[in-house]
Amino acid sequence: MIKKANSGLKIICLNRKASFNYFFENLLEAGIVLKGSEIKSIREGKVNIADSYAVEKNGELVLINSHISSYKQASYSNHKPLDERKLLLNKKEINKLIGKMQRDGFTIIPTKMYFKKGKAKIELAVAKGKKQFDKRAAKKKKDWDRDKARYIRKTS
């Protein structure tokens, strides 16, 4: 019997709306600077990245609008839930992403947050927004695929 190798990833939260609202060009992994009370709250799973995005500030990428709930046991040293959090990337990667954002009109959206070897990581997508008719077409295609699979199951 062959055992499956554990990849060491423990997914904390997903941004399911992102694939519906954006076309992804590519995905990349980034570290995130957190305080002690933030990491404790993340370990409890009290985090939401559904409405968050990354912007450039002073040559660095910063995650905006990510909600990490306050940690009960951290009294005076607690954090603000909607604080800006710095993303950890190489300077070359940061410059490439900033160029795409400014020239090509892309945006940087977090798709999931997870633990990798005990460290909190965030998966970022370089994405372009979908128009309303793109969203309708995607929903129509998803419904058709579901109906097609249902039909094939019944006939087999």
pLDDT in tens, 121-146: 999 999 988 888 888 888 899 899 99
Which percentage of the chain shows pLDDT scores above 70?
96
Residue with token string 């993303």: 87
Distance of alpha carbon 17 from alpha carbon 107, whole angstroms: 15
Instruction: Give residue limits of the domains in the chain.
Output: 9-130
pLDDT for 3: 52
The token pair that represents 31 in the structure block: 């570290």
pLDDT in tens, 18-38: 888 888 999 999 999 998 888
89 in helix, strand or coil? coil
Count of CB atoms situated within 10 Å of the CB of 70? 13
Q: Which residues have a Cβ under 8 Å from the Cβ of 52 and sit 6 or more positions away?
A: 15, 63, 64, 65, 66, 67, 109, 110
pLDDT for 75: 75
Q: Above 80 in pLDDT, residue 8? A: no
- Residue 7: band (very low, low, confident or very high) from pLDDT cuts 50, 70, 90: low
pLDDT in tens, 72-111: 887 787 888 888 999 999 999 999 999 888 888 899 999 9
Could you tell me which CATH number the domain at 9-130 has?
2.40.280.10
Nearest CA to 122 out of 111, 106, 131 is that of 111
Residue with token string 């990337």: 89
Q: End-to-end distance of the chain based on CA atoms, in angstroms?
A: 33
106 in helix, strand or coil? coil
